[in-house]
Structure 1
Amino acid sequence: MTVSRDAAGRWFVSLLCEDGIAPAPATAATIGLDAGITSLVTLSTGEKVTNPKHERRDRARLARARRELSRTAKDSADREKARRRVGKVHARIADRRRDFLHKLTTRLVRENQTVVIEDLTVRNLLKNGKLARAISDASWTELRSMLEYKCAWYGRELVVTDRWFPGSKLCGTCGAVREKLPLNVREGTCDCGTVHDRDVNAARNILAAGPAAAACGDGVGPQRESSRTGRSSVKQGNQRATAGIPRL
């Protein structure tokens, strides 16, 4: 048993015990996910899950608490109270974000036998000064981590496409790949005449590329093992070329 207290002054008790989770009933459903900022994830079914932007919603409250903290004297009782108020705002943001991600990932894992996601280099994306705060608020790394261990728990498979796979630039109808696709372009028309929603098209291409890479075994291997089940559920698909991708 471990007893701890966070920056908001809340006490927690953590119990370590042996446990096991029964696999969920098998299903034939497969889903592809495209992560974003406006829509936290876009599903290959066309559904878009809106990003709740928890940090942005409490940004004014957090700024006010930080200003009050900066005005207090060092090592004073008022400073400790102000520090706790800042911690409570951070805890409120983190708790809401974690609760939202838990509900989303649990739903996706229970409804689908295979979940296909893209391998995002979040560390490099955070170097973009204009988007770093929004990317941190989206918490894509935590989303992937939850999908990994929940797939292992419930006997699902998580397939990760190669980070260089051109999901957004690839036309899911004719297979043509655009040379450039700026972030402000959310919808476009391919030379074949197909009108694509950028995020939905990317999610469908990710869905098509993941199982294809897993089936041929090219660059596929276990990435994570759950301590509660002993099963590995993550597969990494090395899909640098568009040849062999099934058309939708």
Structure 2
Amino acid sequence: MEIKRAYRFRFYPTPEQEVMLARTFGCARFAYNHMLRLRTDAWFKEQKKVGYHETSAALTALKKQPEFAWLNEVSSVPVQQALRHLQTAFGNFFAKRAQYPTFKSKHDRQAAEYTSSAFKWDGKTLKLAKMDAPLAIRWSRTLPKAAKLTTATVSKDAAGRYFVSLLCNDTVEVKPAVVGKIGIDLGLTHFAIFSTGEKVAAPNTFRKNEAQLVKLQRRLAKKQKGSKNRIKAACKVARLHAKTADARKDFLHKLSTRLVNENQVIAVESLAVANMKKNHCLAKSISDAGWAEFVRQLAYKSRWYGRELVGIDRWYPSSKRCSDCGYTTVNMPLKVREWTCPECGSTHDRDINAARNILAAGLAVSALGESVNPVGI
């Protein structure tokens, strides 16, 4: 199966490369923000549509002006790509997939995208345009043999770490079929409960670092704005956030890979995570769990490796239905963790019973097309 795949590596720039990257990030950010203002003013003040080609022409004219001559000091490719990203952002907005584009800040994550014409790749080293030496990349894994790189995106996060993401063509082989089938019920105390009876504890990556984060944020709030000490304190906060995000991502990737390797059919309940976050008592824990990212990983890994992922409608009464006889109780508050079926007398763990019902519904959708309001993931 031919796919586009990105490989992300950390690298350590030299002082000269740091200066050039800072200029490149700044020029790309300026082009994005300037053209966003141009397009916004053209529409709201003159009712005039401005697209990518108009912004590209405006950028060319801008570079010819003496006060903006500094735009020519960096590679033109990342600056031009910023306009393409702006066009994509407007496309997502008009398709109702995202909110209206917002201005980029120098305090957030910085990124610059280089196409194949703006870098040199010899299979071992990567050299960007306007730089004298290749990047000192830490190759944590091996790229595919004869990989043809199409883009190289260089980024710097709020913690001051530099990364390069290499997009290339890759071939993924379908994994051999297995007999395993599993239903997954997602929760907070336990991150995932399987139809096999296994319960996976929630990693609680944010909760574990919350006390330390509060301490660092209080120190940051007391620093004078614009001072070097405030910059150092902000970097410490960003590093702790990065540590939390990395730990969560590592947990989700390991669990999703394991499930895809062991099971041919995976059934999971479709959850409206954005709506669930409106409950302020649970919003922090739901965000910390990373349910949406977990399902996203299951979706693309299942597609790559020939597995079947089935989504069950969020209104399916998985917790209130007896997995043995099919009896459905009327009410079941969240505080009820175990219950006995009045029809057949079976005693159920609420979450394991829900996972078994999710698996049964998923198999019905997969094999017989039963009506359980399946949702495509």
Give the corresponding residue for 2:355: 203
Q: Is the 8 A contact 2:269 2:313 kept in 1?
A: yes
Give the corresponding residue for 1:215: 367
Mapping of residues 54-133 of structure 1, within 5 Å: 54-133=205-284
Once the two structures are TM-superposed, the CA of residue 219 in structure 1 deviates from its matched residue by: 7.1
TM-score when normalising by structure 1: 0.87
TM-score when normalising by structure 2: 0.58
**d(CA) in 2 for partners of 1:186, 1:77:** 52
Give the corresponding residue for 2:297: 146
Secondary structure of the structure 1 residue equivalent to 2:288 = helix
152, 158, 162: which is aligned to 1:7? 158
Once the two structures are TM-superposed, the CA of residue 217 in structure 1 deviates from its matched residue by: 3.3
Once the two structures are TM-superposed, the CA of residue 21 in structure 1 deviates from its matched residue by: 1.1
**d(CA) in 2 for partners of 1:19, 1:65:** 42
Give the corresponding residue for 1:244: none
Q: Is the 8 A contact 1:33 1:41 kept in 2?
A: yes
**d(CA) in 1 for partners of 2:277, 2:351:** 20
Give the corresponding residue for 2:144: none
Secondary structure of the structure 2 residue equivalent to 1:135 = helix
* Residue-pair matches, total: 223
Q: Is the 8 A contact 1:167 1:205 kept in 2?
A: yes
Secondary structure of the structure 2 residue equivalent to 1:143 = helix
Gaps of 5+ in 1: 221-235, 239-248
Q: Is the 8 A contact 1:214 1:237 kept in 2?
A: no
Deviation above 4 Å: which 4+ runs of structure 1? none
Once the two structures are TM-superposed, the CA of residue 218 in structure 1 deviates from its matched residue by: 5.6
Mapping of residues 168-247 of structure 1, within 5 Å: 168-191=319-342, 192-217=344-369, 237=374
**d(CA) in 2 for partners of 1:9, 1:183:** 43
Once the two structures are TM-superposed, the CA of residue 124 in structure 1 deviates from its matched residue by: 1.0
Q: Could you say what the CA RMSD is over the residues aligned between the two structures, in angstroms?
A: 1.4
Q: Is the 8 A contact 1:114 1:157 kept in 2?
A: yes
Q: Is the 8 A contact 2:364 2:370 kept in 1?
A: no
Residue 202 of structure 2 aligns with an amino acid whose one-letter code is: N
Once the two structures are TM-superposed, the CA of residue 214 in structure 1 deviates from its matched residue by: 2.5
**d(CA) in 2 for partners of 1:20, 1:218:** 35
Secondary structure of the structure 2 residue equivalent to 1:26 = coil
**d(CA) in 2 for partners of 1:138, 1:123:** 13
Give the corresponding residue for 1:28: 179
Once the two structures are TM-superposed, the CA of residue 65 in structure 1 deviates from its matched residue by: 1.0
Q: Which has the higher helix share?
A: 2
Q: Which has the larger radius of gyration?
A: 2
Residue 360 of structure 2 aligns with an amino acid whose one-letter code is: A
